[in-house]
Amino acid sequence: TDHGNMFGAIDFYQTMKAQGLKPIIGMEAYLHNHDELDDKSSRQRFHLCLYAKNEIGYQNLMYLSSQSYIKGLYYYPRINKKLLEDYSEGLICSSACLQGEVNWHLNTYSERNVRFGA
């Protein structure tokens, strides 16, 4: 998956189809933990992997990617939990890498905070 965008999705899709494989389109989004996407009080963001499981999910993934640049761009193209909640239909979500919210809390704080982040 691309970080913060879907720029490679078409090439990936075409390559997988040419090989007779079913592509799973996704994006590693940057999750901003504030209510307002234009909040510039913090550069902190967490990684979150999102995958489209159907056509609706693909449309929602494209919308989230676009909104991350239109409304959430502050050093990185970001989405927040409210936007993700509103456009989550058809998406599969995973906690991503060590920069994901769950992993970050595990490494930085306590199990109590991990449950809050998940």
pLDDT tens-digit readout, 30-78:
998 777 766 676 777 888 999 999 999 999 999 999 999 999 888 899 9
Taken in order 8, 1, 98, 106, the sign of the CA dihedral is: positive
pLDDT, one tens digit per residue, over 94-109 is: 886 766 666 666 667 6
Domain boundaries, given as residue ranges, for the chain: 2-117
How many other C-beta atoms are found inside a 10 Å radius of the C-beta of residue 49?
16
CATH code for residues 2-117: 3.20.20.140
Q: Tell me, what DSSP letter sits at residue 3?
A: E
